[in-house]
Structure 1
Amino acid sequence: MNDPNDRSLNGIDRQLIQLLSQRIQRLSQPTSDRSPSSASIQAELQKAGVPPFVWNSLVTSCTAALATSALRLPEEPQQRITLVGGRGMMAQFFRQRFLAAGHEVRLLGRQDWHQAPDLLKDIDLALVCVPIDRTLEIIRQTAAYLPPTATLADITSIKGPMLETMLAAHSGPVVGLHPMFGPGVESFLSQKVVICPGRDRPAWQWLVDLMARDGGDLVESPPDEHDQMMVTVQAIRHFATFGLGVFLAQDGIEVGRSLELSSPIYRLGIDMVSRLFGQDAELYADIMLANADRREAIARLAQTFQALAEQVQAKDRQGLIAAMNAASETFGSETERAVRESDRLIEAMSILLAADRVVDSPSSITPPPDMK
């Protein structure tokens, strides 16, 4: 039991947890008042020496907590799941969420195929989590051992050939998934997952429900639409980031020093570049090279860069302005959303940097006025 008189940091933290639980519970009630903080709250913050950004983060986080719920309802049966390629990072993420829901999870790795008859026996779901270049082969190998009632699914970033192969190789339930995130997240909260339905939806609806209850942002798409959109969402974006990183390296830019002289928005951009170069090189190469559509789009992007660079070399100011105005029409109202969201990201980055500075220099901590 929490001691209300315990003024140690751990004691205060425990009390905060209880209060946050109460606040989230109150927000979940239909009659809850979710209006912005009143002037009296702002006055209390000022009196207590609590910066408004601390309060705003707390309020936003409590509201976001409403997007999640129990991963598995009491009346839902336990599922038996085999993760094929189960020792990879994305498979480990799914393993952690499945175990959190109380499901049984088996791992089938590269060296375990002699155990495939046992690992794939009497299961409810086989989730293929292997690199793109091996997915079709592994789908066929997996399907050979599956019971007809088991769902066969994959998480590859190309869906057309994968879904077609799963439907041909397995007579039972089939669904294609594409998690639009990489290793490092702790849950599905606000993570986009594309769902390409295949066959017998009732058999795998529990999987969709689990991701939704964990706060996932789920969207359904036919495989051909998905693959076309991924040309822009993945291949073009990754190539542009990859190209910028290679240029900075070849040009001898001192990245650390540039961060010392930059704004938070520049830091976010460099973080995205650095993040890519901290990932699996083979994965990103496969994403960019996956099919002709992606390779051709990357070539068109390079041509656009070349044309713009020639305008810069020619000091064609009006041409650059015209190109920017023309592109602005494509983005339209999305620019307003982008400014709003990026402002929040900049604020979050600023808070993180301030916290890091305090950790590095604890002597710089200044207590609120009424605590001096």
Structure 2
Amino acid sequence: MIISIIGGTDGLGKWFARYLKGKGFDVIVTGRDVEKGKKVERELGVKFINDNIEAAKKADIVIIAVPINVTEKVIKEVAPHVRDGCLLMDITSIKEIPTKAMEEYANKNVVIIPTHPMFGPSAPSLFGQVIILTPLERHKNTEWFKKVYNFLKKEGAKIIITTPEKHDRIMAVVQGLTHFSFISLAYTLKELNVDIKESRKYSSPVYELMLSIIARIIGQNPYLYADIQMFNKRIGEIHKTFINCCLELSNVVKNKDREKFVKIMKEAAKHFGSEAKRGVYYSDKAIFALTNELNRLVDMIGEEVAIRNIDSNNVHFGILKGVDGDYLILDKNGKLEKFNVLRVEVFDGEKLKELKKRYLKRIYFDVSVLLKDNVDENTILDLLKSKFDIEIIDVYKGENIEKGWKSVTFRIFGYKKDELREKEKEFIKIIKNIGGKLRY
């Protein structure tokens, strides 16, 4: 099956190109920048075509993944060339405009499933992610709809099926109001000339969370966020209500009307109902998670750890020397390096062992010992595994072995010669303490 992603060289389009290629599909991507397209072709193992119409003609599934402001134009260009019996989708954040365009310009025998993935390109997979499907009734009973639904379900996505109109009405709040309010907060802090770094020194957990959410939003593609505000025709009434509420609350504070302020808060809490308590639990969990993570890191100081950068996936090994504000200090063979706490995962214990085996070159030494014939060498091995990366490679009885004894050859792994020499001394000491002896 061939999937063409129109606009698949960047953002969520590129994310789906990588993901679907990894699931065994043949993927074609298009994009305006030929150099970038060729780079993505090499990086992902997909095919790049600098022609939207040609890509649409070749595909069983065509996915429109271009910016919102050109989505309607691209659909008008591409949709008439999607073959009868094939599937046309889009993954933009609004649904009424692209749905109308696809229905108008695509052939009648093309199945149309407008789609809104509620996540960004940093998501690790579809597992646990919300995907909204807004097909018209005539497309819901098709084989294509069943295939898409079953694929998403198998991948662990949370699927919501609704109408384009209801989607845009809810998204005007879920995305529109959320983005508008937090961007307004960021703009306010900028106009007040607040030193963000300095303010963190005085921050409560709630302020810290607020700053993190603001930073997350304003750090995204501003053109995408502008389009979400400007192309959802239901946003205007949301803005009007929000601004009126802000003005009313401001006047209540200005007039020192304490009872009115309390009434507004109580009425809002009543409207939230049980969700108010859930929100407290949810934010508590986020706050506690950050605190517990820092406490865990402090407890690990002086220990060997693995640090994985969540942006690059690069893994580093060394001794954790300390935690300095937002940074970890790692001793990598005498060289100190800093890593941002918020952009890494830190592992010790069994996960550390697993990562070392995966990323580092192991070296080893073999040592043969004599054990009493009635000793179970596998029991000894299980005990030694708590201290060593070890296996048995040979058990021998016979010529040159004293009667009542057997020779057992162990292989002990490590990553540095000095480390292995120390392990050898420790191993021999343990063997002698349990009544064994070196063979040579």
- TM-score computed with the length of structure 1 as normaliser: 0.72
Cα offsets for 1:283-320 (capped at 9, x unmatched):
11111122442022112211110110111111111110
Equivalent in the alignment of 2:273 = 332
SS of the equivalent of 1:144 reads helix
- Can you list the C-alpha shifts for 1:319-361, whole angstroms capped at 9, x where unaligned? 1000011111110011122222222222222244444964624
SS state at 1:197 partner: coil
- 1:47-126 correspondence runs (5 A): 79-110=1-32, 115-126=51-62
| Among candidates 360, 363, 369, match of residue 328 of structure 2 | 360
Please give the secondary structure, in 1, of the residue aligned with 2:203: coil
> Match for residue 192 of structure 2?
251
Where does residue 120 of structure 2 map in the other structure? 182
Alignment equivalent of 1:166, drawn from 102, 108, 111: 102
- Residue segments in structure 1 that go unaligned for 5+ positions in a row: 1-78
Q: Which of 138, 141, 157 pairs up with 2:93?
A: 157
Greater strand share, 1 or 2?
2
Give the partner amino acid of 1:260: K
Q: Distance in 1 between matches of 2:225 and 2:8?
A: 20
Q: CA deviation at 1:155?
A: 1.0
Q: Does 1:132 align with 2:132?
A: no
Equivalent residue for 2:226, pick from 285, 310, 326 = 285
CA contact (8 A) 1:82 1:127 kept: yes
Task: Determine the structure 2 residue equivalent to 1:227.
Answer: 168
- Say if 2:30 and 2:50, in contact at 8 Å, map to a contact too: no
Deviations 1:182-223 (A, max 9, x none): 221111222211111232631143333333222211111111
| Aligned equivalents of 1:145, 1:292: Cα separation in 2 | 29
- Mapped to 1, the partners of 2:53 and 2:172 lie a distance apart of 37
How far apart are the structure 1 equivalents of 2:194 and 2:53? 53
Bigger relative contact order (CA 8 A; separation at least 6): 1
SS at match of 2:181: helix
Query: In structure 2, how many angstroms separate the alpha carbons of the residues matched to 1:353 and 1:274?
Result: 21
Evaluate the alpha carbon distance shift between residue 352 and residue 139 of structure 1 in structure 2; reply closer, same or farther with a 3 A threshold: farther
Segments of structure 2 that go 5 or more residues without pairing to the other structure are 35-48, 299-321, 332-347, 350-386, 388-440
Given that 1:153 and 1:174 are in contact with CA atoms closer than 8 Å, whether structure 2 keeps it comes out as: yes
Contact 1:158 1:227 in 2 (8 A): yes
Aligned length: 289
- Per-residue deviation, residues 18-51 of structure 1 (Å, max 9, x unmatched): xxxxxxxxxxxxxxxxxxxxxxxxxxxxxxxxxx
Q: Which residue number in structure 1 is paired with residue 135 of structure 2? A: 197
Could you say which structure has the higher helix fraction? 1
> Structure 1 residues 252, 320: CA separation in 2 closer, same or farther (over 3 Å shift)?
same
* Partner Cα distance (1:209, 1:140) in 2: 29
- Output the amino acid matched with 2:276: T
Give yes or no for contact 1:88–1:129 (8 Å, CA) kept in 2.
no
- Tell me the TM-score normalised to structure 2 length: 0.61
Deviations 1:78-107 (A, max 9, x none): x21001011121111111210121111100
1:26 alignment partner in structure 2: none
Where do 4+ consecutive residues of structure 1 move more than 6 Å?
none
Shift of 1:141: 1.0
Alpha-carbon distance, 1:257 to partner: 2.0
Structure 2 SS opposite 1:194: strand
Match of 1:211 in 2: 152
Partner of 1:105, secondary structure, is: strand
The alignment-based identity, stated in percent, is 27
